[in-house]
Amino acid sequence: MNKFLLILLLCLIAIKSFAGSDSTEVKARKLTYSDFLGKYSINDTSAAVIEIFFDKKDNNAKGEMSFLPITAGVFLIFPVIGAGLSVVSIPMFLHGSYTLIKYRKKKLVNVLTEYRNTGELPKGLRKKVTKSITYEQYNYE
């Protein structure tokens, strides 16, 4: 009897874990730039917010983080030069990691949802968006 209950319990757990969920909600980390523009962009401001988040994450953060592996390679060949370069590259790597966390996609979804509901952006982001929009208008004229 105990074996039967154990097998039944394991089968129910397996069915529950492998069954597809009814929710068609796509997780924020799987969305791409074009998905964000299509689903969350309601005006130029929200498009600028999306552009800022993806630019910071893809260009700035990953660029800053790429120096540490290069420094590690130099350290293996020339330890004296590598030690000097690591003084510069480790803080850049940490700042790049912080930037990746700060500009993650889930936070972007939360900011855009709040902007859609209230029309308000956080103060620091509002300044960046204003600069970005005026820069784009200046370049098109």
Task: Give pLDDT, residue 71.
Answer: 92
Mean predicted lDDT score pLDDT of the chain: 87
pLDDT digits (tens, 9 = 90+) for 95-130: 999 999 999 999 999 999 999 999 899 998 999 999
Nearest alpha carbon to residue 105 among 48, 66, 65, 58: 58
| CA dist 70 → 60, 96, 108 (Å) | 17, 15, 31
Is residue 48 within 8 A of residue 132, CB to CB? The reply is: yes
Cα R_g (the chain), whole angstroms = 23
Evaluate if residue 11 carries a pLDDT over 80.
no
Q: Report residue 26: phi and psi, to 5°.
A: -90, 135
Evaluate if residue 69 carries a pLDDT over 70.
yes
Task: Give pLDDT, residue 105.
Answer: 93
| CA dist., res. 35 & res. 27, Å (int) | 12
What's the one-letter identity of residue 117?
N
Q: Where are the domains of the chain?
A: 27-139
Nearest alpha carbon to residue 100 among 6, 20, 47, 29: 29
Nearest alpha carbon to residue 47 among 121, 141, 99: 121
3-state secondary structure (DSSP) of residue 2: helix
Task: Give pLDDT, residue 53.
Answer: 94
The whole-number average pLDDT for the span 74-85 is: 91
The whole-number average pLDDT for the span 47-72 is: 91
Q: Identify the sign of the CA torsion 89, 94, 97, 102.
A: negative
pLDDT confidence tier of residue 24, bands split at 50, 70 and 90: low
Task: Give pLDDT, residue 141.
Answer: 61
